[in-house]
Amino acid sequence: MKPKLLLNDIHIGVQRSGGTTPATAMQLRAYLLESFAMMVQETPEYDLIINGDLFDAFMVPTADLLACLTILYSALSSGRRAVLIRGNHDWSKDSAKLSAFDFLCRVLSIEFPDQVVTVTEPMWVDPGIYAIPHMPNQDLFNLAIEQVPAREVGRPLLLLHANYHNGFAVESDHSLNVSEEQAKALIAKGWTLVFGHEHQARKALDGGVVVLGNQWPSSIADCLNNPGGTKYAHVLRCSSDRNARWNIEPVHTWAAADDFAEVEWGDLATFAYTARFIRVIGKATAEQAPAVIEAIAKFRQSSAAFVVSNAVQIEGVAEMADLPSSMEQLKAFDVLGYLYEQLDPEQAEVVKKLLGAADNEMKEGA
């Protein structure tokens, strides 16, 4: 069987406001598209599997959608095959509109009906490779996990777009979770679990759980806590057609040493850098808080870095993180927006859900 290039969480069309300017936010979007295009073009010998979140949102800018369509159209025109698995960012239960993901899949399926596999329900995508996409809620996801068949031969891979062993995630249908107990049951059936969705790579249960992490960062959080400071795409190779025994081989895609930097806020004026993701750190007194904000704002406006985040610790405050420095700024300060930017997407969804429920209770009691 032909080897597969496995990618996930590319987040094409990403909309970042925290730590960016309008210009650098556009550059970040272009960077993700260019990285994806280059990886696809440089691996013509592999079929493609996208394990969720090809796009950053249910709807993305048309220019980004068309660029992605062009990349995949070119790959399929050369005879390659593409498996496109729905992720949580590719789907919305609250919209009757056609998502960017669905539109892309339908157009490609019309032109290449025998080469495109769209995964919106649990299914076999190759001998020895079974995929469960993002599901509408945790209950349906749990049912899909229970219905995964037992292994017959070989070393099959179960592709999932979900968190692994994350108790926080189970509170939100936007971000599903596989518990340790569920993982152990699947491993006992003979499966190796391969996760998309989480952006930092890790392994668990003696390699029975493999969280690949994403291939290119789209935020400062993506740059942190990566083993060895690197990110990888992965190639799936089948060592035996008869037994469908798949091996997972990493392909280096990004290095923090080249593209991520931390700098003390007091050094910003003289900071020489090539990194495109910069985290401003250090400590300051309460009296220095306005100076910190001014220094970072000035650096952002003159910097070509995609994202410049504020992790300065202020005396009496856990982290500065772009707090306003004047009464005028305070009046215009978006508290919830600030809060959501500090959380991972799944955590933000939980907070929104809880705040919505509390708001409904207040209205009912009024």
Q: What mean pLDDT is predicted for residues 55-65?
A: 96
Q: How far apart are the C-alpha atoms of 70 and 365, rounded to whole Å? A: 53
pLDDT single digits (tens) 257-298 = 999 999 999 999 999 999 999 999 999 998 999 999 999 999
Q: What mean pLDDT is predicted for residues 137-151?
A: 93
Residues 86 and 130 in one domain: yes
- CATH code of 52's domain: 3.60.21.10
pLDDT attached to residue 11: 97
Q: Which range marks the domain in which residue 188 is found?
A: 4-255
DSSP-based three-state secondary structure for 140: helix
The answer to whether residue 251 sits within a structural domain is yes
DSSP-based three-state secondary structure for 164: strand
pLDDT attached to residue 276: 97
pLDDT single digits (tens) 224-236 = 988 899 999 999 9
Residues 165 and 275 in one domain: no
The answer to whether residue 363 sits within a structural domain is no
Residues 38 and 175 in one domain: yes
The one-letter amino acid code at 222 reads D
Instruction: Out of 234, 255, 276, pick the residue that ends a domain.
Output: 255
Q: Which of 138, 200, 196 is nearest to 170 (CA)?
A: 138
Residues 48 and 173 in one domain: yes
Phi-psi region of 112 (alpha: psi -120 to 50; beta: other; left: phi over 0): beta
Instruction: Out of 255, 289, 324, pick the residue that ends a domain.
Output: 255
pLDDT at 341 over 80: no
Residues 238 and 304 in one domain: no
Q: Which of 325, 348, 326 is nearest to 336 (CA)?
A: 348
More confident residue, 183 or 225: 183
Residues 119 and 251 in one domain: yes
pTM of the complete model: 0.84
Q: What mean pLDDT is predicted for residues 200-221?
A: 96
The answer to whether residue 167 sits within a structural domain is yes
The answer to whether residue 220 sits within a structural domain is yes
Instruction: Out of 220, 255, 290, pick the residue that ends a domain.
Output: 255
The one-letter amino acid code at 236 reads L
Residues 142 and 284 in one domain: no
Give the strands of the sheet with 277-281, arranged side by side. Answer: 260-264, 277-281, 307-310
Count the domains in the chain. 2
The answer to whether residue 337 sits within a structural domain is yes
Question: Residue 348 — very low, low, confident or very high, per pLDDT cuts 50/70/90?
Answer: low
The answer to whether residue 353 sits within a structural domain is no
Residues 103 and 171 in one domain: yes
pLDDT at 329 over 50: no
Question: Residue 326 — very low, low, confident or very high, per pLDDT cuts 50/70/90?
Answer: very low
The answer to whether residue 86 sits within a structural domain is yes
The answer to whether residue 28 sits within a structural domain is yes
Residues 222 and 332 in one domain: no
pLDDT at 335 over 80: no
Report the share of the chain in percent with pLDDT over 90.
Answer: 74
pLDDT attached to residue 96: 75
The most distant pair of C-alpha atoms in the chain lies apart, rounded to whole Å, by 70
Q: Which backbone phi and psi does 302 adopt, to 5 degrees?
A: -100, -10
